C-alpha cells in the first residue's frame, strides 16, 4: 500500500502532539520491554564502533542509547518535527550532540546515509508503504537491520487485529488520516531476503515482535 502526502502529514501531526509526553515517559521509565530486547540483540551482535541509523527515531532516545552502549555515531530521521526537536535537545542535554544527528525526513521517499546498523522500532506499523521503508533501510545497512512490529501471529493475532481495528475506528470517527497497519510478516521477510538479508533472531514481548536480520548478500553500501 502506498502513502499520500495527506497521510504523511497526519502521521507527522500525530507524533508532533505526542513528542513531549513520549520524551518525558522515557526519562521517567526508561526503555520499553521490546526496545530493551532490540538493544540487547544489537549489543550481542556487535554494536561497538558502529554507525547507527534509526528510521522513525521519534524523540531519539533509542539512538542515543546505542551511543551509550558503544556505537560510534547515530543518525535519526522522523516525519515529526516536534520529535526531532526533542531529540536534538536531548542529545545536547546528554552531551552526545557531537556523535548524534537528528533530521526531519520521510525515509520512504528519501535515501538515507550508509550505516552499519539500521533500526525501525515500531515504525512500519505507522506507515502504509512498508516496502519503501524496508527498501530504504536495506539499502542503507551494510550489516544489521533490526525492527519491531506488532505481535501479529499465533494466539496474539486476533487480539492485535481487534485492538488495531478499534484504534483505527476511533481515528476514523475523529476524522484523522492516522492509521495503524499490520504488514504481513512473510512479505517483509521476502523483501529483506531479496535485498540481501537473512533473519538472524526473533524475540517477543507481550505485544511486539523484535527481528534482527543480517546482511548475507551484496548490495551493501560503503560507509563514510
Ligand X SMILES: C[S@@+](CC[C@H](N)C(=O)[O-])C[C@H]1O[C@@H](n2cnc3c(N)ncnc32)[C@H](O)[C@@H]1O
- Report helix, strand or coil for 146: strand
Selected range binding ligand X among 53-61, 172-180, 185-193, 203-211, rule: CB under 6 A: 53-61
Q: How many residues bind ligand X (CB under 6 A)?
A: 22
Piece of 95-103, 125-133, 153-161, 189-197 that binds ligand X (CB under 6 A):
125-133
CA torsion sign for 195, 157, 106, 59 is: negative
Say whether residue 122 binds ligand X (CB under 6 A): yes
Mark the segment that binds ligand X (CB under 6 A) among 52-60, 64-72, 138-146, 153-161.
52-60
Q: Does 11 bind ligand X (CB under 6 A)?
A: yes
Residue from the set 23, 47, 52, 58 that interacts with ligand X by CB under 6 A: 58
Per-residue x/- track, 70-109, ligand X (CB under 6 A): -------xxxx--x----------------------xxx-
- β-pairing, 115-121 vs 208-215, is unpaired
Retrieve residue 199's grid coordinates: 533473519
DSSP 113: -
Q: Which residues are CB-neighbours of 67 under 8 A, at least 6 positions away?
A: 52, 73, 74, 96, 99, 100
- Report how far residue 121's alpha carbon sits from residue 131's, in angstroms, rounded to the nearest whole number: 16
- Total length of the chain: 224
Binding-site ranges for ligand X (CB under 6 A): 11-12, 15, 35, 55-58, 77-80, 83, 106-108, 121-123, 126-127, 133
Amino acid at each position: 500500500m502506498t502513502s499520500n502526502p495527506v497521510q504523511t502529514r497526519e502521521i507527522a501531526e500525530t507524533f508532533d502532539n505526542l513528542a513531549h509526553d513520549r520524551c518525558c515517559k522515557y526519562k521517567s521509565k526508561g526503555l520499553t520491554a521490546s526496545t530493551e530486547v532490540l538493544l540487547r540483540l544489537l549489543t550481542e551482535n556487535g554494536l561497538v564502533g558502529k554507525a547507527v541509523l534509526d528510521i522513525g527515531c521519534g524523540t531519539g532516545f533509542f539512538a542515543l542509547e546505542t551511543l551509550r552502549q558503544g556505537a560510534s555515531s547515530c543518525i535519526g530521521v522522523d516525519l515529526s518535527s516536534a520529535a526531532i526537536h526533542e531529540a536534538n535537545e536531548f542529545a545536547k542535554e546528554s552531551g552526545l550532540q557531537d556523535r548524534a544527528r537528528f533530521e526531519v525526513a520521510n525515509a520512504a521517499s528519501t535515501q538515507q546515509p550508509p550505516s552499519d546498523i539500521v533500526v525501525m522500532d515500531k515504525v512500519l506499523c505507522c506507515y502504509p508503504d512498508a516496502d519503501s521503508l524496508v527498501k530504504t533501510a536495506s539499502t542503507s545497512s551494510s550489516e544489521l537491520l533490526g525492527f519491531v512490529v506488532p505481535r501479529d501471529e499465533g494466539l496474539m493475532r486476533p487480539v492485535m487485529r481487534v485492538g488495531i481495528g478499534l484504534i483505527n475506528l476511533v481515528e476514523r470517527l475523529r476524522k484523522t488520516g492516522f492509521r495503524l497497519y499490520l504488514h504481513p510478516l512473510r512479505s517483509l521477510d521476502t523483501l529483506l531476503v531479496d535485498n540481501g538479508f537473512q533473519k538472524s533472531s526473533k524475540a517477543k514481548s507481550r505485544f511486539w515482535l523484535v527481528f534482527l536480520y543480517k546482511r548475507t548478500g551484496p548490495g551493501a553500501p560503503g560507509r563514510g
